[in-house]
Structure 1
């Protein structure tokens, strides 16, 4: 086909030819140009000139004289082989190490780095390679590139004669210590007359060893050959039930909490159910742990496990809880909590006995024993330094704290004081003219005493006592009673640092405060202040206001009632009309209301109006003293009539407020005369024997023999006076001139309860 003309359709290409460049005539080996002995045509094909077609008979190149004339007797000279050809790809390899210092690290001080020193024989170059170690954190690989390394400053370089096992080599300031070499190196060095020493042991890096010791040994797991479908069909619905308890009493506010541990045999899942009790104070969550496989050690994870992103699966967990691990009396760990199995149900006991031939232990009693009460802490007596509340803090805590104050009380009662007037229980005559003002602070229960100055009296006046908590004499020193408004009443005797004062008055705000907080004061104290305010005339406006309210409440709209009554009468009359009356109305004959009937209705309404104007006198509570105690001479009324009035038709007596006194007023006047008659009891014209006042102003009648009371005959009352209710009256203003509120003035403790109780009944 080579002789065919090159015309379309007659040229063919070789499909196997892929390269069309011309081959070079020289090869470059280690920087030297070596002529090629064999040339190839483009595409890697053989040249036609190299074929036998072009061989000549007298080709000097392929002519071998030895074939014609025989071998010559002289040996030919050996062929010269250069080093780059003789030692091509031949290297000497030494195992070495060097130490690298590590600064600012508490875990290591230096690092042992293992390297391979490679010496190339063809051109005397050296390369240092460090094998790569996984997760070493170092830049490893080629430490020194292939080059000639100078040995001295003069410029001499290292050669193979400088290498040996156990020798230190300094490359660019780093000292490498050789410990071993490979077999080719030993044979080559021995052929050159250098015998290598025995290999040394490579030192270990302590930090690397510690890291390897922390790395877990990889464990391969063989999947279980258990058939899940068979287990589901055989054990579905079968549950092992254990009673457990979590003892968390070691932590703050911890307690003993009960649970139920359920083990599902179908899939080896465990769920924990919380047992709630009535009024246990906890949210009604049914499950503490949903059904899942429970690992024995839930924190056993590989070091490289990314806990931030993933959760543990079956591949990371070493071992799960199985039925053999659940026994009564054993403690299991459920996600870090220790649960004690103290009992199980009957079916669970039968399962263990039948399957595992194990008898579960008896139930454990977990009822808490009563705690031993610590001994009562005895407070030491007060040493007298500082206030009692401040000194008491030294016995409560090691570092004393400031006593706490009632801030809410101070805010609500800021600048609120109860003021009383006092006089001294005089011993010296010159002190009788001195007056004092006691201010009781509602914010902090302190008392402040001020003395108004009196001109030319010889007393300066001013502040007598600053704010201070006054202690009631005779109270417990460790738990003292302080003076309060319940102790302050007219005539009360208080002691201020062994100085006795008598309360003689109070302002109206004290009485208002007592009425607003009546539960904080005894009835005797309120009555005492009420009598004082009434006698002083401070309650006149209250009495008038109360009287007006009562009168307004009793008023009736009589004009409207009269119109309503007239309309009703007219309607009733319309109903009772006869046919004759209706006929007269149609013809307009006669008409109007019957004058007698109209007069009768008007008279009845007028009488009802007059009756409503009768003022039934009501004794106001102001000034009346409901006292149950009495002095030595009580006044008792004699024979008392029955308060039940018989039905008497003749009892037609009426009392109106227009002219005559009512029976109540008559009784009041009668007893006022009796009081004046027995006035000598208060004026002390005759000696009266009185006793010392019992503690806390409570009189005791059984302490002395009761004297014979004064008998007073009841007054003569008109018929129908039995309708008068039981009343008691206040003392008159001039009853007791020397002592207005005490019938016995012998220098003893005074009390408002020493007054006569008048027993008046109808």
Structure 2
């Protein structure tokens, strides 16, 4: 500011400017502390704006560009564009999305793109501050945008009809009432003259039904002619322009030369007048979707084509449009001459495998002249590939069986990969044992022992049905006995019990039931002998060792180790022992992921939990707790989060105590706590490495059998043989 003498007149040349000669006009740096971080800000900004969720002075004073970062209000609206060049419509309605950025008050308008619309769509107004109409210093603010209001952006009037849930909640917290959504107007305002039938609108039909095709399957029986046969056809009806095309389905090696098309794409007339060429004459009515259905016969220029079946999209279209419910397919007539020719065709026989490379690779080289990679089961790979924690890998602990006493101490892990039915063997090396750990046998298909390898057909291989505890596998002339399995393998086999008989509790119980029923007084003596083997304080529980001994006495060699383990896991009881190893294992994995993601905002999480607990009971539903954790951006995936929520303490309504969650996430101490040194060592020894981030606990079967308990009463109740006692008495 220039300093002047008040006695001198305010005229040019009578004042003194102190800025003359100054070269630096920078803004004075003003530092402040926000969340213990020194930041350079401009004090002229409004730093006292706080969210309306909390009262003033309950949250730190932050500038708007920090407090409202990535906070965007989204409105839906439309504007009308006049159509002067068209008589059939006065204007067209164009739908847009209006985005209001809270951090700086800018606005962006985008029109969603529609295929084949013929309009230039996308960003209509780039992100910028927009002035109010007839104003030079006022801009649109959050108070100017709401459902039902009309706003003018650069001469275009936009009508707001809806908003998203975040915008509605934000405006309600500001005390702004948000009306209900307004229905969209008609896309095109059409004006028809009274008394006249509206003209067809092919362009509208094209926009509504583009890329929607009805597909039928049918046949044309041409056996009445010489050398005629049954032609299998595929009929396509295009809803966009009411045209049809027909393709002929030819089986491989049929000897028939495939033509380009049975019928090229065109409007198929229902009836062709005689002596009228296709290029002239009166137009006839063509087939419509109402004329097509399963069992219908269409006339394709004199050829009668019968429709026998259709695809799922076509069924849904007729169910919604015409109300059809019966889509039973029709039988296709069989051409005996063609079938007899196919039956007499010799099956291709490959030369015997010479042992070089894999069998699939050698077979592909024999099928084609040009070498190609072997085809794998892609659908099985898609369904059985690793998805999150579901690795689809069955892991088993194994011992090497031979006459060498030094191999008795060696410990192996056999992995069965369900995606391609391959087996890999890995050795866990111990210090000073003389054996280096690592890959013992690389991952590949493993064939059964004592089979002839050099044959035309591929020899049988080990499948997932052969993977069960107690079984012996011969891999490259080494015999392995499976002695244990990890938790994931046992759980996977129990969930798919129809595929794995060793994990099917119903089949195992039926086997025990038939054995006891075949013995005289078998069930009565069985119950009486082990009646006193239950715990004195809890009559329904029995030790696993005693339970296994009881089953071995009646079943002898009829049950495998895997079946014993399945029953123990199904009927296991809980006498009050601590289940902390699994909880601490999951806690270690969560600690590893949160440390890797640099997350440490427990205070904000506690504030959100207290705010969500409106009743003050100290518990929250699992779904609500999951939303709060995701809102606080915990750097763990959904599978690990679900595992964490499963091990937390719950009340009788299955609501989770969030104080237990805060204790679970307290990583000031070491990740694994409340464990003795021996339990901690055992946990680390049998737990998978944290780098795999897998929430599976490698179970120690010997410890489980020595220290576990089963529910004896539940076992007898499911056995359901009380009628034998009454009959024998």
Q: TM-score, normalised by structure 1?
A: 0.27
Q: TM-score, normalised by structure 2?
A: 0.28
Q: Select the structure with the greater relative contact order (CA < 8 A; seq sep ≥ 6).
A: 2
More helix by share: 2
